Amino acid sequence: MTRGRIVKSIAGFYYVDTGEGTYECRPKGLFRKQGIKPLTGDMVSITITHEGDMEGQIEEIEPRKNELMRPPVANVDQALVIFAIKNPGINTGLLDRFLVWMESQGIPSVLCINKTDLVKEDEDEIAVFSKRYRDIGYEVIESSAKTGEGSDRMISILKDRITALAGPSGVGKSSLINLLQDEVVMETGELMKKRESGRQTTRHSQLIYVPKAKGYIIDTPGFGSVEFSHIEADELGDFFPEIAKLSPDCRFRGCAHIEEPDCAVRGAIDPERYEHYVQLYMELKSNRRY
C-alpha cells in the first residue's frame, strides 16, 4: 500500500497526495458500514487501482490528533487568526471567543494583525494590542498585504504544518492568502478540474499547498460558526491561558472567578479579557438551563 494525505474531498471522492502524485480515491465499503468518514487532512494508506488514471482506494485511516467540523478537516497543527487594526478594526470580544474555541480543541493560535499600513502614524495602537496578547502567551504577527510586512514571518509559522486560516470579513484575509500563494501552482489543479466536470462540487474542503513553507493552509468559515456546546461553564477558565495559570492560587478549589473570596484571578488579568470571560461564563450557564 501507498501512504499519503487527503488534500481535498468532494462529493465522496478523496484526493490523496502521496508525494509522487495525487490520486482520486474512493474509501473501501467497510468504512461506511463502520460509520467512518475520511476527512481532508487525514493520513491514509491506499491501493492504486489504476496508475494511468491516477485512481485508488483508501484502505486505512491513521489515528487523528484532532478534527474540526467546519470545515471538515483533520490533523490541524495551528490556527492563524487574522484581524485588521483598521477598517473594520478589531472586535476583541469576537477574537477572544475564537481563541477560547481553538484552545478547547487543543489547537494553538497565532494572531495576525493586518493592515498595519493604515496606522503608520499611530504605531502605539498596534504595540499596545500586540503586547496584551503576547503577555498572555500568544504569538502575534503584524502584517500588511499591501506592503508585504510580516510575510516572511508567516511563511516561517506555516512551515511543515497544516494551518487553519480564520478571520471575520473585511480584514484582508484573501489578500494575505494571495500573498502567501504568489508562487503556488496546485499540482492537482488540472486533474481535479477535469474530474470535477459535471460533478456536484458545493460540499468540499481543500488543503492548499504553500511551496515556500512546505506546508498547507485551509480557509475556514466565518466566526458565526463558532459554538460552545462542548464546553461546560466550570471548565471555561482552562481555555483562558492566563486564568489557567493563576487559578491554582485561588482559595477555593473549582473557583469560578466570579464572586468567590480570595480569588487569584479577579483583578489580576486584563480587564477586558476578564469581562469577556464573565460574559461567556454566564452564557454557558444560561444555555445549560434549557
Query: Is the confidence at residue 194, as pLDDT, over 50?
Result: no
pLDDT of residue 272: 97
State the cell numbers at 35: 460509520
> Residue 232 and residue 255: Cα distance in Å, rounded?
14
Q: Which fold has domain 2-64?
A: OB fold (Dihydrolipoamide Acetyltransferase, E2P) (2.40.50)
CATH no. for 72-187+197-225: 3.40.50.300
Which of these ranges, 15-29, 89-103, 206-220, 274-288, has the smallest mean pLDDT? 206-220
Amino acid at site 134? R
Q: Are 273 and 96 in contact (CB under 8 A)?
A: yes
Range with the largest mean pLDDT of 13-27, 61-75, 204-218: 13-27
Residues 6+ apart with CB under 8 A from 109: 78, 79, 80, 81, 98, 99, 102, 103, 138
pLDDT of residue 184: 46
* In the chain, where the domains are located: 2-64, 72-187+197-225, 233-287
Span 44-65, average pLDDT: 97
User: Would you place residue 244 in the very low, low, confident or very high pLDDT band (cuts 50, 70, 90)?
Assistant: very high
Given this chain, do its domains 72-187+197-225 and 233-287 carry the same CATH topology? no
| Mean pLDDT across the chain | 88
Chain centre distance of CA 250: 32
pLDDT of residue 287: 83
pLDDT of residue 119: 87
> Residue 220 and residue 149: Cα distance in Å, rounded?
23
Q: Are 4 and 23 in contact (CB under 8 A)?
A: yes
User: Would you place residue 195 in the very low, low, confident or very high pLDDT band (cuts 50, 70, 90)?
Assistant: very low
Query: Is the confidence at residue 97, as pLDDT, over 60?
Result: yes
Going by C-alpha positions, the residue among 183, 125, 175, 129 that lies closest to residue 149 is: 175
Q: Which fold has domain 233-287?
A: Ribonucleotide Reductase Protein R1; domain 1 (1.10.40)
User: Would you place residue 188 in the very low, low, confident or very high pLDDT band (cuts 50, 70, 90)?
Assistant: very low
Range with the largest mean pLDDT of 111-120, 182-191, 231-240: 231-240
User: Would you place residue 120 in the very low, low, confident or very high pLDDT band (cuts 50, 70, 90)?
Assistant: confident
pLDDT of residue 104: 93
Query: Is the confidence at residue 157, as pLDDT, over 50?
Result: yes
Share of the chain above pLDDT 70, in %: 89
Span 65-84, average pLDDT: 91
pLDDT of residue 219: 82
DSSP state of 161: S
Query: Is the confidence at residue 233, as pLDDT, over 70?
Result: yes
State the cell numbers at 230: 462542548
Query: Is the confidence at residue 199, as pLDDT, over 90?
Result: no
Residues 6+ apart with CB under 8 A from 79: 102, 107, 108, 109, 110, 163, 164, 165, 166, 220
- CA-CA distances (angstroms) from residue 116 to 125, 128, 188, 208? 10, 13, 35, 26
Which of these ranges, 111-115, 160-164, 218-222, 283-287, has the smallest mean pLDDT? 218-222
pTM, 2 dp: 0.86
